[in-house]
Amino acid sequence: MDARAVLELAPDSRVANSATRLAGSSGWRGTGRDDTALWGLCAGSGASPYQVCVDLGDRASKCSCPSRKFPCKHALALQLRHVREALPVAAPPEWVAEWRSRRQRRVAAAPDDSPEAVARRAKAKEKTALARRDAVRAGVAGLADWLADVVGAGIAGLPARDAEWWRSIGARMVDAQAKGLASAVEEVRHVVAAGGPTWAHDTADRLGGLHLLTRLADSPELADVVRGRIGFSVTEEEVRAGEGWSDHWAPLLKLESDDGLVRTVRQWAWGRAHGWVVAVRHAGGGARPVAPLEHGVQVRGVLHPYPGAPPHRVAVGGELLERPPGPVPVPGTWREALAGLEEPLRADPWQRLHPLGCASVRPTRDTAWLVDDEGRGVPVRADLALDQALAVTGGGAFDAWGLWNGRELRLGAVARPGGVPEVVG
């Protein structure tokens, strides 16, 4: 389980924020783990430290703190510390052994696989799912009303809105069990706060995306995509237990981000039979995540797709590193490359980054554009990757791959025409 998955267990955003800060605290001692549990002592407001333990199987936890929220910030922080740097293997203290023993006794006494019990559990599960569906629908309706108010007042007034105004709508989405919508609202807030010459355009674009999401919340055609955008998560364990794609994968593009709570690395890999996929790794507590695949090295192995639209997010199964990647096919013109984005955009209109490539491009004199053989160009981001690409290719024509955000291309790999890609940046 990675940091993002740990924080998704939080009952609300305040607990998630507190856990992230607490994970890096020096108030921990006696931390340890074995094959089934994590444990540790965390300094609190009293004389005695809190006893914290987490079951690695079902992520159940026990903490001696007085919090009424479950899991509490201490249980989440302990898991984040383990994600950042594995806790030392040790023999569990007595209080951990006692807690596990009590849980095992309850499990041993509780199993009831009679048809009646199975039916009751299925009914309870259905009731829970229906309750969440209703809560999410209420949250979506509330978001639609909020968007109408924002549009009615005009986005020019958004920079003057205080933190509590933004927090209230985000908290409402969390309460509606729609964390994805809460994150989308937070993204809008960051765009507004960042300012810049295009803030109004970018804000309108994101508000439009949220409006579209509220309109398509019950769309059967986009069910998997919409559920993911709203915040219905699928665990990595569930994904790995499902379908697997065996292929030769060439990880060519990579992007790191930091939202203040979690650092994320996303890595796009080209599968010779499956096309583009994206693997994601998170890390909390200030740690830097490691890319899921060896970047720039051809990998033979199995990747497991999450529900959704291409390029599918994938969980990494077993892999075997091989020779450097061979040539990767690339569209012959920017017109062909951009036309290829129509299907992915129809399948997921909220996707903002797309792997894009073109054969035999040349930089303009000011290196602001990459121009194809038809004389058409796309803007390219001026950064270290572009400098490296020019150094590698000597200013001549080259095949290019990068991440397209609708405005500019962020280069990630280049090759001499028809040659083997080399990652840059």
User: Along the 425 residues of the chain, how does pLDDT read in single tens digits?
Assistant: 788 889 888 888 888 889 999 998 889 999 999 989 999 999 988 888 999 999 998 899 999 998 888 899 999 999 999 998 889 999 999 999 999 888 888 766 656 677 877 788 788 888 888 988 999 999 999 999 999 999 999 999 999 999 999 999 999 999 998 989 999 999 999 999 999 999 999 999 999 999 999 999 888 888 899 999 998 888 888 999 999 999 999 999 999 988 777 889 999 999 999 999 999 998 876 778 888 898 988 888 999 999 999 999 999 987 677 776 789 999 999 999 999 999 999 999 999 999 999 999 999 999 999 999 999 999 999 999 999 999 988 878 999 999 999 999 999 999 999 999 999 98
Q: Are 168 and 219 spatial neighbours (Cβ–Cβ below 8 Å)?
A: no
Tell me how far apart the alpha carbons of residues 319 and 418 are, in angstroms, rounded to a whole number: 27
Annotate 154-185 with b (16+ C-beta within 10 A) or e (fewer): ebeebeeeeeeebbebbbbbbebbbbbbbbbb
Report the pLDDT value the prediction gives residue 412, as an integer from 0 to 100: 96
Report the pLDDT value the prediction gives residue 307, as an integer from 0 to 100: 92
Tell me how far apart the alpha carbons of residues 250 and 275 are, in angstroms, rounded to a whole number: 10
Bridge partners (DSSP) listed for residue 245: 303
H/E stretch holding 163 reads helix 163-175
| DSSP β-ladder status, 299-305 and 275-284 | unpaired
Q: Check residue 89 and report its DSSP letter.
A: B
Report the pLDDT value the prediction gives residue 17, as an integer from 0 to 100: 87
Report the pLDDT value the prediction gives residue 225, as an integer from 0 to 100: 94
Q: Are 398 and 360 spatial neighbours (Cβ–Cβ below 8 Å)?
A: yes
Report the pLDDT value the prediction gives residue 107, as an integer from 0 to 100: 67
Report the pLDDT value the prediction gives residue 110, as an integer from 0 to 100: 58
- The reported pTM is 0.75
Nearest to 249 by CA among 265, 266, 269: 269
Q: Check residue 238 and report its DSSP letter.
A: H
Report the pLDDT value the prediction gives residue 69, as an integer from 0 to 100: 84
Tell me how far apart the alpha carbons of residues 92 and 98 are, in angstroms, rounded to a whole number: 10
Tell me how far apart the alpha carbons of residues 8 and 16 are, in angstroms, rounded to a whole number: 8
Nearest to 38 by CA among 70, 6, 4: 6
